[in-house]
Amino acid sequence: MTISESFLSITASIVLSLFWVCFVIVLLRNAVSVLQLGLAFWSFVTRAKPSSSNLFLWQRYADLSLPVSVIAPAFNEELSISQSVRALLALEYPQHEVIVVNDGSKDRTLQKLIDEYGLMPIKREQLAVLQQTKILGTYASPRYPNLLVVDKENGRKADAANAGIGFARMPLVCVIDADSIIERDGLMRAAEPFMADDGELIAVGGAIRIANGCEVVRGTLTKIGIPKSLIPRFQVVEYLRAFLIARVANAELDMLMLISGAFGLFRRSVVVEVGGYRHDTVGEDLELVVRMHRHMREQGRKYRMAFVPEVVCWTEAPATLQGMRNQRARWQQGALETLQRHKVMIGNPKYGRIGLIAMPQLVIEDVLGPPSELIGYLLLPIAWSLGLLSPQLALAFLCVTILFGTAISIATIALEELQLRRTPSAHDLVRIGVAAVLENFGYRQANLVFRLVGIKRYLKGETAWSAVPRLGFSAK
């Protein structure tokens, strides 16, 4: 055998081995997805739906509900802030205060609020100082006693949320994005698990949907719709998969690892105890939940985190590939930063099921999965053209990625239709179903590339926050 033949043989072995590794990792991810699908289905079938009598009693005995501080960090939101705040003040909840944190906006966000709500400067004690920037002032409204506006120097969303948590006077804090559209009774649904709580519940996440294509009037969603363009429509499918399958399944196993930054309800005392959101990560929502798990387990305290599968909040998805790229790269970078920071938990029995199952699952999903699938797609034509791969094996790879991915997405839509039925019509159901098929041809692969961008940013240690351009909501 000549040197060149040996070289070719070794190269062929490497390519084939690498392909097999990618194939096995993709198979493993699929196995996790199927398990999650089964668990989510089981959870939906066995759960007790919130009864109307339950809500009636809650409304009658309003003081029994745990009061909530809704914290809305706002940065350059002058166009929508007045309506967003009005919608937050109008939420159906017995006792809630709204704390808007103006995070050093460069536009007239603060002035808009002052004008609209007749705000006056007040002196209010901050019960916990969690932010790193300076508080410039606090404002209250004589007309709306449950509204507080905090003006501060610019930090990041994490810093603004921390400032708001520090001013919160209620036992529960609900951290949202300023442009999140909370369902009128979303807060009530999300806080419901606390009604039957024995003191162990420390956080609740809720299902979030894409608001693109919906009709929004004065900060309130009035009509559910399906986005016209494909990029947000693909994200409708993605959000369904994430919130109806992954979160529900993980919550069923007491392994909820992420409560979205767009809507999360936390026991204030625990968030303050762990020091609030971290400022040095772009994935502060994931990091906070992982840190809460770590903190509670290291202290040997009993705790629970719950998930409410009913829709509690709507958010605007990026409508362009550039926006998608920034968002997905940030999520990926945030996940890697969190895994790096809490690597001691991975596979560590001291952290129970979080260390043994949930953290390794994050590793498969966020560290190994995306590059493996992408490398698999790249190696497939190379290995096939070199005659290293049988057509059957190539087809098998495409089946486990594209065909299986489509099936999982459609199963999620079917589950939604069976259990929640928030898709407006049969026609819309078909449109989402078609999107679930189409997303596997281009969008899915583009997403993998965006995640690689996130991995690159993580490896380079970038700390900049890439903005996601928003178009705003359609209103009639």
- Judged by the rule CB under 8 A, the positions of this chain that interact with another protein are 27, 34, 45-46, 48-49, 51-54, 56-58, 60-61, 63-66, 120, 122-125, 127, 140, 142, 145, 169, 194-198, 390, 392-393, 395-396, 399-400, 403-404, 406-408, 410-411, 413-414, 417-418, 425-426, 429-430, 433
Compute the chain's Rg from CA coordinates: 23
Q: To which residue do tokens 């705790």 refer?
A: 303
| 3-state DSSP assignment of residue 338 | helix
Q: How far is the CB of 298 from another protein (least distance, A)?
A: 26
Q: How far is the CB of 225 from another protein (least distance, A)?
A: 16
Q: How far apart are CA 366 and CA 364, in angstroms?
A: 6
User: 326 or 440, CB closer to another protein?
Assistant: 440
User: 35 or 471, CB closer to another protein?
Assistant: 35
Q: Could you tell me the CA-to-CA distances from 175 to 163, 168, 332, 372 in Å, in that order?
A: 11, 11, 21, 35
Q: How far is the CB of 389 from another protein (least distance, A)?
A: 10
- Three-point CA angle 111, 214, 443, nearest 5°: 105
User: 77 or 192, CB closer to another protein?
Assistant: 192
User: 42 or 465, CB closer to another protein?
Assistant: 42
Q: How far is the CB of 123 from another protein (least distance, A)?
A: 7
In 3D, which of 28, 25, 23 has the Cα closest to residue 392? 23
| 3-state DSSP assignment of residue 116 | helix
474 secondary structure, DSSP code: B
Q: How far is the CB of 433 from another protein (least distance, A)?
A: 6
Q: How far is the CB of 267 from another protein (least distance, A)?
A: 14
Which H helix or E strand runs over 101? Answer: strand 96-103
Q: List phi, psi (to 5°) of 17.
A: -65, -45
The pairing of beta strand 96-103 with beta strand 68-74: parallel
Strand 120-122: give its sheet, edge to edge.
120-122, 135-140, 147-152, 96-103, 68-74, 172-176, 263-267, 201-210, 304-315, 181-182
Q: How far is the CB of 410 from another protein (least distance, A)?
A: 5
Q: How far is the CB of 16 from another protein (least distance, A)?
A: 13
In 3D, which of 191, 190, 183, 188 has the Cα closest to residue 219? 183
User: 54 or 76, CB closer to another protein?
Assistant: 54
User: 60 or 476, CB closer to another protein?
Assistant: 60
User: 43 or 327, CB closer to another protein?
Assistant: 43
The answer to whether residues 151 and 122 touch, using CB atoms and an 8 Å cutoff, is no
User: 169 or 341, CB closer to another protein?
Assistant: 169
In 3D, which of 370, 378, 373, 366 has the Cα closest to residue 22? 373
